[in-house]
Chain A
Amino acid sequence: MNFNYQMRFSKTGRARFIAHLDTLSCLMRAIRRAGFEFALTQGMRPKPVLSLAMPLGVGVEGEDEICDFSLQQRAPLTELAKKLGSELPEGMELKSVGPSFDRTKSASRVQSVSYRIELAGAPAGLSEAAGRYNGESAIVLLRKRPKGDKEVDIKKYVRQVELSEGDADPQGITFDMAVTSEGTGRPDEIIGALSGICGEDIRISRIVRTSIVIKEEATPVPARPGHNGRATYRGKRR
């Protein structure tokens, strides 16, 4: 029997340069150092059960990241929080940890993510550009990929952007980005689009993912089609 947990943590400062797979290793090692034993995946090469709701780009900070993991034994929560909190590497901080009763991983249910872009210098036309961005019905960008470039309408993912006003100039840009089955956008694409509208580069000091919104699990879990696309009868669930 496995015991499922979910932790929320931040990854800021220099830790923003730790790449996704290395972040997974860092978290796994922290949990082991804290003295807890992972539940293992089935199969030829059992692996610890741990996943992140959504990868964070290298250089992007996360204020409220989500990690699901499973342990072999039930862990006393205060002990788990205390030990785990002291074992995360510099720049990664535990915000909370608790049991999870979901049957599916958060990674499969991400609905949207929110970003805050802090600016090092805003061009004069940024407010106007934001207004124009919000007013457009579609903004199509070319996404460069090794297998051939692809056109993407980023308005499908980010409907509107907001500027947080400082004393005089805009200090930051915030927006929610939808995560769909067809894909999602990247924060630098939004900056790129706004720069394009301004006709001037927007200088950035930080990109921060402020939250990840997870869809509630539908209960009961609907019958799902099998891997070959046909609904399969698996017998009665016990």
Chain B
Amino acid sequence: METGIESLLERVEKPARYIGGETGSVVKEDHSLRVVLSYPDVYEIGTANQAVQIIYSLINNHTGAWAERAYCPWPDMSELMRAEGVPLFSLESWKPVREADFWGITLQHELTYTNILEMLDLAGVPLRSEDRGEDDPVVFAGGPCASNPHPVAAFFDFIIVGDGEQVMPGLISLCELEKGTPRKQMLEKLAEMDGVFVPAFPRQVTRAVAEELDYELIPARPIVPSMHSVHDRAALEIMRGCTRGCRFCMAGNWYRPVRERPMEEVCRAVNSMIAGTGYEEASLSSLSTTDYSAIQETLAGLAQSNPNLTISLPSLRVDPAAIKLLGLTSQRKGSITLAPEAGSQRLRDVINKQVTGEDIQEAITEAFRGGRTTVKLYFMIGLPTETEADLQGIIDIATAARRIGRSEAASPGRVQINVSVASFVPKAHTPFQWFGMNGREELEKKQEYLRRNMPRKQIKLSVHDLMPGMVESAIARGRDVTADAIEAAWRAGARFDAWTEKFDFSAWEKGFAAVGSTVEQEATRPFTLDAELPWDDIDSRVEKDFLIDEKKKADRAQITLDCRWGDCSDCGVCEGGIRMTTCK
């Protein structure tokens, strides 16, 4: 097999994607089980994913099993693999993934789903759980999109719902114990575990929640890719969960409650990750990093211990104080991204994005005064209750940003405002799950309005393609039958759908036609509040009544305060040991 792979590598683009042997990768000669972990996209995207890193290091450092990795081969490679009969192999051992005991694939977003099928097919593993035999690996999933597992349920033997590190140790122990048990019996046992959804034995599953972020589980020596990856930096999750309560946000509603890591642990972990990887940049990641209680002290502490380290803060709030924080990070002064999400105060109240017009103006002012020349503004169109006034609001904010830039920036001529506009995609387990996506025609009209009316000088408008969002929407709130559409789309050639140049809408049209529907019909379907939802068997721990209340408040443009600073909003998540833990 080795020489077979090498001969392929001589002929493909970026062969370093497939060589393994990276610093931090693990080869475990003695192991109880062989597990392969996958992110269903190409290597340089997949290696940047923290979830795979966390589970990889958990399995390798804390259990007797061996975790390897496999990513989705780029089409030039998969073509050669098929032509020469080389099955999908893991990077660490260059052994077929098919021969592993378990194969876990992370569900990070819907447009990676066809790559799951591509990888199963390349591995020579039957696509559907029901067709797999005793010799096939047990294929499982996890990640945020497990919140609605139904569209991919047919392809998996089991699906972890919630925090993987909470489930994984018990799961590995059980699987070690049950090694050799017939598949069906094994799955029956797994179905009894908390946080595990087994499509063959469906039942109500409650999301698994880690009460705190365990220091011991931080990948202290994460894998350092041997080739350029999308995030060439050490990444540490400093906080999980966000209770800002944005009504469109899947992660904010799913990963409750807020669990902050103690500041001392953050500093210690960053230092050890930097020493263990040789990176010059560390990212403090979370859903809203500037909400971390001790962010200022942490940045100051890190700057003191590592004067040459660049700290990057993803997910900045539109908040002048947050922008000021950037001054502490010695981050390169290029552009800064702010996400007001909606153009008018009314619509921002509808979506519960608690940012005022003054906040936006002050944040932009602060960004330009801080030496930046480019401000990127991110908006959504197609939000529930949206009117033309809300679209005009987007234009007004962009125009105001340009005016502020011209008066505040050191070189007014170089000021650039980049306005990025995506279409709202309703997600399961959010207060907006009952809304359908806007139809194609309606969204096209809205895009056209922006294109026609947005001033051009020093403002660059980029509008996301509609159709990938439509497909995402059609899958996100999908049902079991959606799996047939995904498989049919893959058979029609859909893969790497998140890549603009690879996205093939006609394949998706064929896919949904195969189940007697269309992408648009699925994407735009609303649900009534009393309807049974396909994902009702997944209990996110957020009460449905809370989501219904939030939906009704949205209809009235009424906000709900963040329970971190305001009263408890009774979402139902905090229970027993599960509660908000802040580091201050």
Interface residues of chain A, those whose CB is within 8 Å of chain B, are: 14-15, 17-19, 21-22, 25-26, 28-33, 35, 37, 45, 58-59, 87, 89-91
Contact = CB atoms under 8 A, between A and B. Distances in A.
Contacts of A18: 16, 19, 226-227
Contacts of B278: 28-33, 87
A21 B21 CA distance: 18
A28 B9 CA distance: 25
Contacts of A87: 23, 278
Interface string B306-322: 00100000000000000
Interface of B: 6, 9-10, 14-16, 18-23, 224, 226-228, 232, 275-280, 308, 332
Contacts of A35: 275
Main secondary structure of the interface of B (DSSP, over half): loop
Nearest to A27: B278
Contact of B19 (A14, A21, A30, A45): A14
Nearest to A207: B10
A33 B224 CA distance: 11
A33 B277 contact: yes
Contacts of B15: 17, 58-59
B226 A21 contact: no
Which of B10, B23, B278 has the most A CB atoms < 10 Å from its CB? B278
Contact of B23 (A19, A22, A29, A59): A29
A89 B21 contact: yes
A58 B226 CA distance: 13
Given A17-B9, A18-B16, A26 B226 contact: yes
23 contacts: A14-B6, A14-B19, A15-B21, A15-B226, A17-B9, A18-B16, A19-B227, A22-B226, A25-B232, A29-B23, A29-B277, A30-B23, A32-B278, A32-B280, A33-B276, A58-B15, A59-B10, A87-B23, A87-B278, A89-B21, A89-B224, A89-B226, A90-B22
Nearest to B280: A32
A37 B308 CA distance: 10
Contacts of A26: 23, 226
Which of A30, A33, A87 has the most B CB atoms < 10 Å from its CB? A33
Which of A22, A37, A87, A91 has the most B CB atoms < 10 Å from its CB? A22
A153 to B, nearest CB: 28
Q: Which 5 A-B pairs have the closest CB atoms?
A: A29-B278, A90-B21, A32-B278, A17-B15, A14-B19
Nearest to B2: A14
B21 A33 contact: no
Contacts of A15: 19, 21, 226
Given A18-B19, A29-B278, A37-B308, 8 more contacts: A14-B20, A15-B21, A15-B226, A29-B224, A29-B279, A31-B278, A89-B224, A91-B21
Contacts of A21: 228
A29 B309 CA distance: 13
Contact of A17 (B16, B224, B308): B16
Which of B9, B16, B224, B332 has the most A CB atoms < 10 Å from its CB? B16
